[in-house]
Amino acid sequence: MKPTIKPAINRFDPAKEYFFEEGCYILEMANSADDPALSIARARVEPGRVTRLHTLAEQVERYVILDGEGLVEIGDALAETVTVGDVVIIPPGHPQRIRNTGESHLIFLALCTPRFRPEDYRDVDPEPPR
């Protein structure tokens, strides 16, 4: 049975931000089984930090850079500087990470289709967690 999407407003609540094992702070803005086509999270990476190299099993992920600057790596194919307004597209199963190369927080939206599920996250970083 297909979920029925109902009109709703998800209120922004910075108190719900948490530190995720990937190495950044996450604020889930929209992620529900009632709306399985898309999830939206705000990610925040502290200056000088890099997220863990990881893959998502099922999701196409898009980063929309809102503030700061960084270096995004996607597999062996891409290592590029990103800044405000850039959109990064990451296919399912591609190793990815992002480094904050600026002096302020790197903040971006992570939009996943279908929606992000924690069981689809796979750490593939050869370095131990910091």
Where exactly are the structural domains of the chain?
Answer: 18-123
In this prediction, residue 130 has a pLDDT band, given cuts at 50, 70 and 90, of low
What is the percentage of the chain residues whose pLDDT exceeds 90?
87
Residues in the chain: 130
129 has pLDDT over 70: no
Mean per-residue pLDDT, 87-103: 97
| Main-chain phi, psi angles of 15, to 5 degrees | -70, -15
CA pair distance 69, 14, nearest whole angstrom? 21
Three-point CA angle 9, 12, 15, nearest 5°: 140
In this prediction, residue 28 has a pLDDT band, given cuts at 50, 70 and 90, of very high
Residues 6+ apart with CB under 8 A from 1: none
34, 35, 120 from 3: Cα distances, Å? 5, 7, 21
The pLDDT value recorded for residue 3 is: 67
Tell if the pTM clears 0.75, that is, is over it: yes
CA-based nearest residue to 66, from 85, 47, 48:
85
- Tens digits of residue pLDDT in 37-88: 999 999 999 999 999 999 999 999 999 999 999 999 999 888 999 999 999 9
7 has pLDDT over 80: yes
The pLDDT value recorded for residue 6 is: 86
Superfamily of domain 18-123: Jelly Rolls (2.60.120.10)
CA pair distance 119, 130, nearest whole angstrom? 21
For all residues of the chain together, what is the average pLDDT?
Answer: 94
CA-based nearest residue to 38, from 115, 116, 118:
115
